[in-house]
């Protein structure tokens, strides 16, 4: 119990932090504690979080069903996704809030869109150069390959597009690394009011300082959400918003809410 209280005190420390100090002196991460506290934040407003998640899910489904747009669907929906971080912060700091705060991210639609679009375009380029055209079509454009069991060329293309080839696997690994490196971009744009490119650069610098730690954190979040999906997908209504809150907690602990250069 004493260790848990110490961890909570540590996570509640929101003093102004210096980027130079973070990069020079490093920092500690506490993945399990982030997930625990994220779940506790979610429990403070379960109904609204689930309602918000359903709305985001419907919007994302509509966007992803539109040809040529679905490939950047995540970036288009990013300002809505930012609402989870916004409300998590209000709950964490005992600030007044309403359901409408989940949509505050729309106030900064363009920068929140761009901070997620730029990495997507870079990932698309990686898919194309490293994975090849076949892999690019299925991984980024969502175009399923036509398979003819009597045509060896179409079978080869299908296997490559499915990422079974070494090039496809390498492209996927690089894309995953990029995604982790820029994972703080959205929060830096909203909470620090940084320009998209500056937010991405700072996120890269901070994450790369302790990349393995962040990889472990996101791996645990992945397991957490897989467990939620096993329960006929219903569990995702708990694990997804809890994960959003956990990412906010990690950000607040490492970066703070008033970052100084």
Contact between 179 and 185 under an 8 Å Cβ cutoff? The reply is: no
Mean pLDDT lowest for which of 132-141, 174-183, 249-258? Answer: 132-141
Percent of the chain with pLDDT over 70: 84
Q: Which of 66-80, 140-154, 205-219 has the highest mean pLDDT?
A: 205-219
Give 154's pLDDT tier (boundaries 50, 70, 90). low
Contact between 41 and 91 under an 8 Å Cβ cutoff? The reply is: yes
Mean pLDDT lowest for which of 56-60, 75-79, 133-137, 215-219? Answer: 133-137
Residue 248 has pLDDT above 50, yes or no: yes
Please tell me the predicted confidence (pLDDT) of residue 15. Answer: 59
Please tell me the predicted confidence (pLDDT) of residue 70. Answer: 80
Tokens found for residue 206:
């901070």
Phi, psi of 15 (to 5 degrees): -65, 155
DSSP 203-255: HHHHHHHTHHHHHHHHHHHHHHHHHHHHTTTTTHHHHHHHHHHHHHHHHHHHT
* 68-83 residue pLDDT tens: 788 888 899 999 999 9
Contact between 15 and 257 under an 8 Å Cβ cutoff? The reply is: no
Please tell me the predicted confidence (pLDDT) of residue 234. Answer: 87
* 99-130 residue pLDDT tens: 999 999 999 999 999 999 999 999 989 888 88
Tokens found for residue 215:
């990889």
Counting every residue, how long is the chain? 261
Contact between 97 and 137 under an 8 Å Cβ cutoff? The reply is: no
Sole residue written with tokens 């399923």? 144
Domain spans in the chain, listed from the N-terminal domain onward: 16-254
């Amino acid at each position: 119990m004493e260790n848990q209280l110490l961890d909570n005190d540590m996570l509640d420390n929101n003093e102004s932090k210096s980027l130079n100090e973070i990069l020079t002196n490093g920092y500690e991460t506490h993945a399990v504690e982030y997930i625990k506290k994220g779940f506790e934040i979610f429990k403070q407003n379960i109904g609204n979080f689930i309602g918000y998640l359903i709305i985001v899910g419907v919007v994302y489904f509509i966007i992803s069903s539109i040809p040529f747009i679905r490939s950047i669907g995540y970036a288009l929906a990013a300002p809505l996704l930012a609402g989870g971080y916004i409300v998590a912060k209000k709950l964490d700091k005992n600030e007044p809030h309403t359901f409408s705060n989940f949509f505050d991210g729309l106030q900064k639609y363009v920068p929140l869109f761009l901070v997620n679009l730029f990495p997507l375009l870079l990932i698309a380029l990686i898919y194309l150069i490293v994975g090849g055209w076949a892999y690019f079509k299925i991984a980024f454009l969502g175009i399923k390959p036509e398979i003819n069991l009597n045509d060896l060329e179409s079978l080869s293309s299908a296997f490559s597009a499915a990422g079974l080839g070494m090039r496809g696997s390498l492209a996927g690994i690089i894309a995953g690394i990029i995604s982790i490196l820029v994972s703080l971009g959205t929060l830096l744009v909203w909470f620090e009011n940084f320009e998209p490119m500056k937010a991405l650069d700072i996120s890269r610098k901070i994450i790369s300082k302790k990349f393995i730690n962040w990889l472990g954190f996101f791996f645990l979040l992945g397991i957490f959400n897989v467990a939620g999906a096993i329960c006929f997908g219903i569990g995702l209504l708990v694990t997804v918003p809890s994960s959003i809150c956990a990412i906010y907690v990690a950000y607040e602990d490492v970066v703070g809410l008033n970052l100084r250069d």
